[in-house]
A and B are shown apart, each in its own frame.
Chain A
Amino acid sequence: MTEPLLEVENLKKYFPIKKGLFRRTRGYVKAVDDVSFQLEEGETLGLVGESGCGKSTTGRTILQLLRPTSGRVLYRGQDLTGLNFQQLRPIRREMQMIFQDPYSSLNSRMTIRNILLEPMKIHGLYTKKEREERVEELLELVGLDRGVADRYPHEFSGGQRQRIGIARALTFQPRLIIADEPVSALDVSVQAQVLNLLQELQETFKLTYLFIAHDLSVVKHFSTRVGVMYLGRLVEIADKRRLYQSPRHPYTQALLSAVPVPDPEIKRERIVLSGDVPNPKNPPEGCAFHTRCPECMEICRVERPPMIEVEPGQFTACHLYS
């Protein structure tokens, strides 16, 4: 087996809560709590979960935009967590990010040309002429006319802005792209176009995606594997087909039962969870999901379930299977 492109090992990101006059640390929000997974070259791993479950934080921590509290992030065998700003720079050309909000991800005081020139200027690569050519290439790659380069972001629609954001991420032909809810701010019709563009680009450039989303149908369409997060923890990760057809973790089952099916004839049983997501400041002991789990057992309240391979390629953190 070849080496995975990205390995995340026991990643944790705790945000301290500071209170009082002397800003003393009064506990932590455990945004990402012991998450591990691997990404093979060329695949798309969808990461789903409710808002606030730590999906975006996971993405940002992998890119070292937020420094992890502990754990390792191995990119092609190299641990990124210990690297400083300078050492990370060459690696940043290979791993890029696409953002959720196309209205705040482009600086409104810069022309599209300048936005796209930025990465090349920062890295001091290419001659002036090559840079200009690259800008035009990038615009064409994402399906925009090269004539739009001298316009400002406010002159574009959300979908077009998102294309510009994608073009920026592609500047140095990255291998890994972390897409943080790239279509959730867009209209449904535009979503499909942007997703198709991402898929085309993946084929052309052999890109690997970590696709963060909360829309299960979008993830189903787009991913090869899917990971489900709850309260900062990865509860289940499996091949797309297996996860959607036979989810094992009670949380995944509940989540999938909530996806509407476009056929009124089909009657399904919906699992309605009681209560709310607990406060990540003070997550429950044992399994984080036990407070809402319909199948909660005694052990779930005390012991945190380990990740178990229940089927080949399907991992679940649930005591039901241990």
Chain B
Amino acid sequence: MGNTHDDPSKNVAYDTTDTVPVGHHHESLSFQVKKKGPWQTAWKKLKRDRAAMTGVVILSVMILLSILAPILPLPDPEETDLANRLKPPGTEGHILGTDELGRDMLSRLIWGGRLSITVGFVAVGIAMFIGTILGLIAGYFKRFFDTVIMRTIDVLMAFPYVLLAIAIIAALGPGLMNTMIAISVVGIPYYARIVRGSTLTFREMEFVMAERAIGANHFHIIFYHILPNCLPPLIVAASLDVGWMILAASGMSFLGLGAQPPDAEWGVMLSEGRKFIRVAPHVSVLPGMAIFLVVLSLNLIGDGLRDALDPKSKS
């Protein structure tokens, strides 16, 4: 690929000490390259991945718009104007048209993004946090903890996700917050299994034994040695999962279990617009497109991260 100058293994004169004659190993080595950690290397690889960078750009724009929503010159997303219902995109004053109550579509999409994207990230955050801790404990201590935690998780996984999420919402009551909790719970097994798997591998490594030999306690070993080694697969999983969570949250809202009208939320908007799909398709297509773009960009990023964080893929 013509990127030899970027490959750390090519520039370093590693083997000098091992080839000097016996007894002369105090000769010093000189290294010409700056330090390069696993994260820097991964970032360099990611930057060269066009697809992943496209995802990063799309996602950044959407996140930026969502953050800036309160200060952008947008009409109130909940202000109705029945005289201007279902205006098509391109109408003066409403670039993306209006919905069935005359509310500005662009404004609703941007404000809706705030909710949908936040829900996706927060739900992944909760699921990842709990799942990681459970996975670490199960994989590190094995025996009793492993049995109890993993069998519970197997029970959780035996339910179809959507059904389980609906059941949890049914118990907690509909609403965006409860939806978030529900899809987080549904997501926990995914993380717990990934982390448990890596933990089982790393706990047998000799560096863990070395830490024990020096007198490190289990807490230190788990959080300072095993967790950092579990991060790469975890990050890949999480980046792919944010998209899934956004989709799930929108799905719940579409079914009337999540965010409630008149809230601007992509799933709600899609559901409401569905009734007018023949006369004004933009009302449902636009939020659908928004969901599609976020999920696509997150998948592109996730795939890129998978390659970038894999130490075996070199370029």
Contact = CB atoms under 8 A, between A and B. Distances in A.
A119 B25 CA distance: 25
A14 interface: no
B172 interface: no
B118 to A, nearest CB: 30
Contact of B210 (A85, A150, A165, A190): A165
Contacts of A107: 207, 225, 228-229
A140 B29 CA distance: 11
Interface in B187-218: 205-207, 209-217
A192 interface: yes
A190 B19 CA distance: 8
A270 interface: no
A96 B207 contact: no
B70 interface: no
A193 B19 CA distance: 10
A151 to B, nearest CB: 6
Interface residues of B, number: 38
Contacts of B29: 144-145, 147-148
A190 B18 contact: yes
A279 interface: no
Contact of A97 (B19, B26, B38, B209): B209
A118 B211 CA distance: 8
B5 interface: no
B12 interface: yes
B14 interface: yes
Interface in B1-49: 8-9, 12, 14-15, 17-19, 22-23, 25-31, 35-38
Nearest to B27: A143
B220 interface: yes
Contacts of A24: none
A9 B248 CA distance: 63
Interface in B270-290: none
B209 A99 contact: yes
Given A111-B37, A150-B35, A155 B8 contact: yes
A111 B38 CA distance: 10
Given A111-B37, A123-B215, A155 B12 contact: yes
B192 to A, nearest CB: 21
Contacts of B213: 63, 65, 92, 96-97
A104 interface: yes
Contacts, number: 114
Nearest to B35: A150
A159 to B, nearest CB: 4
Contacts of B228: 107, 109-110
A157 B14 contact: yes
A100 to B, nearest CB: 7
Interface in B137-181: none
A120 to B, nearest CB: 10
Nearest to B21: A193
A143 B23 contact: no
Contact of B18 (A63, A119, A160): A160
Contacts of A106: 207
A122 B220 contact: yes
Given A99-B206, A192-B22, A108 B229 contact: yes
Nearest to A195: B22
A168 interface: yes
Contacts of A147: 28-31
Contact of A145 (B23, B30, B215, B229): B30
Nearest to B205: A104
B215 A92 contact: yes
Interface in A133-174: 140, 143-145, 147-148, 150-152, 154-160, 163, 165, 168, 171
Contacts of A190: 18
A105 interface: yes
Given A96-B213, A101-B206, A157-B14, A196 B23 contact: yes
A104 B31 contact: no
Contact of A108 (B8, B28, B38): B38
Contacts of A93: 215
Contacts of A189: 18-19
6 contacts: A106-B207, A118-B216, A122-B215, A123-B214, A123-B215, A140-B26
Shortest beta-carbon contacts, A-B, top 10: A143-B25, A105-B206, A145-B28, A159-B18, A89-B215, A92-B215, A99-B206, A150-B35, A104-B205, A109-B228
Given A101-B206, A122-B211, A197-B25, 18 more contacts: A65-B213, A93-B215, A97-B213, A99-B206, A99-B210, A105-B210, A107-B207, A110-B228, A118-B214, A150-B35, A155-B9, A155-B14, A157-B18, A158-B18, A168-B210, A189-B18, A193-B25, A196-B23
